[in-house]
Amino acid sequence: MPSVHIRAQARQDLAGHYVYLAEYGGEAVAERFLTCAGTSFRDLAERPAMATLLQTRAPGLSGMRKWRIKGFESFLIFYLTRHDGISIVRVLHTARDWWHLLDIDS
């Protein structure tokens, strides 16, 4: 089974989203968010090429892909493929200026 590696910044993103969702939607919504994120991560690890490939100028992010969290489509997963699975780089809300944050070519 392919592995899912979650980078420190992505862990911080998930924690921030959890806190926000728990405060404004309730703890059950926040827990469901984490469950859906984990399911999406595992699906991507199984089929890493199914997501949109992005063009980025950022060093070390060549080959980065983008996918939505199923059930929470306003949240985007940014990841890189690895020989043993995937590496989650960031998990960002669509309202964020993610193009700028990740140095994406438009």
- Give the C-alpha separation, 1 to 53, whole Å: 23
| Residue 101 pLDDT greater than 80, yes or no | no
Q: Are 95 and 20 in contact (CB under 8 A)?
A: no
Of 7, 29, 16, residue with least CA distance to 90: 7
- Give the C-alpha separation, 6 to 11, whole Å: 6
| Residue 104 pLDDT greater than 70, yes or no | no
Percent of the chain with pLDDT strictly greater than 70: 91
Beta bridge partner(s), residue 77: 67, 91
**pLDDT mean over 23-44:** 98
* Residue 91 confidence (pLDDT): 96
Of 38, 44, 93, residue with least CA distance to 52: 44
Query: Which CATH code for domain 3-101?
Result: 3.30.2310.20
* Interval 60-90: pLDDT, tens: 888 899 999 999 999 999 999 999 999 999 9
Q: What are the CA-CA distances from residue 37 to residues 58, 93, 94 (Å)?
A: 25, 13, 15
